[in-house]
Amino acid sequence: MLEEKLKHKMHRPTYLNTLILSFSLIISSGLHHLSFAGSKELKKEALTVIQKKRQLLIEISNSIWEFAEIALLEHKSAELLADTLEKEGFRVKRGVAGLPTAFVASFGLGKPIIGILAEYDALPGLSQENLPYKKALIEGEAGHGCGHNLFAGGSLGAALAVKEVMEKNKLEGTIRLYGCPAEEDVGGKLYMARDGLFDDLDVCLAWHPDYRTKVDVKGSQAIDDMEIEFFGKTSHAAFDPWKGTSALDAVEMTVFGINLLREHVKPSVRMHYVITQGGKVPNIVPEHAELWLWIRDSNRQGVKVVVEKIENIVKGAAIATGTTSKINYKGSYHEMLVNFTGSTAMQKNLEMIGPIEYSEEEIAYAKKIQQETGTEEKGMVCEVKELEKPAKDPEGGSTDVAEVSWIAPTLHVSTTCAPFEIPWHSWAVVAASKHSIGHKGMLLAAKIMAATTIDFILDESLLTEMKKEFKEKLKGYRYKSGIPPGQKPPLRVKKIR
């Protein structure tokens, strides 16, 4: 009973509790295994575990780099991660939210419940050898151009380290690693969020490889992802073109409309598209054409305003060309809800652990990549700066991590895993992601997340304060998924080359 009480006290390290605990320990020499190690000590333990498991984490991230599996096809990557977690004592639930390559791995019991996100999908067409110049490993195949193999390894490292510290010090709480597939397409977290997998979290932590190191407080954009189809009638394009109605004409009119609209949207809006279907041959009037379009802005309301205008453009194009139209809403992401209280705690850990040091060979490798991509040869940049100020508009880009940020306070850190300012989603990132420059960033991320998780396990007042900010920012909003209930994730995706 006393032991139970002490355990309970352990994550309330107020002065009073610490005093009671110290007193109890003095009078009870048999309870030495419960000695309150203090957050500094526990963090040190966690960092030692990451250092000890360094080779395992590198091997796993390298294997995922080699698998290079694109969205929803990450079978080997998910299995490797889930198997490793199971071997390390986590309870693993596979195939969650109707996604065969998603999983949730848990360790421990009770509150707080702390989530760590992992991603592992590659990008189509970016196959690249582990070399500082462009050379495909297998022409046309996928590659880790966003460094998600490192993302997986770093998050795994944090979860394993926290688990060991919890076990050794008998700390209460639950650590949960979320295996999140298909970030680059579809958005696995959309389905996981819709199905309530994050609902009981007290806090969630994530990271991403970058060419800078910083706790991210600038947020990300909201986005709507849609496919616009037009259906016309075929005819011979020279013999009887007047009998046909061209779906391609309707796509072209829509594109023209979107490009005129650019003058009348806010500067924060981003609109980009590809024409995925434009007909088969020039001598057949195309009966089917398709446009794949993404609309982004700083928040969901901004996206909604633009999407309504696009819907009118589509209607107009269909009327003008005598075709019919269909819009397939593939999904939408929220903008990131930034939490400064939690981010400040993360920042302190980043400052404590400090920047990465690089060898001359590593800097030379980075500079070669920069030279090959026409980027200024600044090598690796891993300065630890002050936490940034809140931004009115986020930087361009969206992530399904933002979905989680409306369900539980979500913190995000970026660490330097690639040469400064190289083009992202390119061969150059693949070339950095199986190299020691990438591995070092991955281990730094694991350490920052593990240390921050320990803060939340030990300091209940920090959790309370962070939740207060979260609640205030929600302004009564209850998370609503961008995909309808019951809609199943698309289980096969086209291999885009």
Query: Which residues are near Zn ion by CB under 5 A?
Result: 146
Kindly tell me the burial class for residue 7, based on how many C-beta atoms sit within 10 Å of its own C-beta (0-12, 13-18, 19 or more).
middle
Smallest separation, CB 418 to Zn ion (Å): 12
Distance CA 93, CA 145 (A): 28
Smallest separation, CB 208 to Zn ion (Å): 6
Which is nearer to Zn ion, 270 or 348 (by Cβ)? 270
Smallest separation, CB 239 to Zn ion (Å): 50
Which is nearer to Zn ion, 268 or 414 (by Cβ)? 414
Smallest separation, CB 145 to Zn ion (Å): 9
Smallest separation, CB 223 to Zn ion (Å): 14
Smallest separation, CB 425 to Zn ion (Å): 8
Smallest separation, CB 214 to Zn ion (Å): 16
Nearest-CB residue for Zn ion: 146
Smallest separation, CB 405 to Zn ion (Å): 16
Which is nearer to Zn ion, 112 or 153 (by Cβ)? 153
Smallest separation, CB 148 to Zn ion (Å): 6
Which is nearer to Zn ion, 146 or 380 (by Cβ)? 146
Residue type, 147: G
Which is nearer to Zn ion, 421 or 469 (by Cβ)? 421
Of the candidates 390, 387, 364, 393, which has an alpha carbon nearest to the alpha carbon of residue 377? 364
Which is nearer to Zn ion, 65 or 470 (by Cβ)? 65
Which is nearer to Zn ion, 120 or 198 (by Cβ)? 120
165's CB contacts (< 8 A; 6+ apart) are 42, 45, 46, 49, 171, 450, 454
Which is nearer to Zn ion, 146 or 418 (by Cβ)? 146
**What b/e readout covers 14-26, taking b as 16+ CB neighbours within 10 angstroms?**
eeebeeebeeebe
Which is nearer to Zn ion, 70 or 146 (by Cβ)? 146
The residue written with tokens 């600038």 in the block is: 218
Which is nearer to Zn ion, 92 or 150 (by Cβ)? 150
Smallest separation, CB 209 to Zn ion (Å): 7
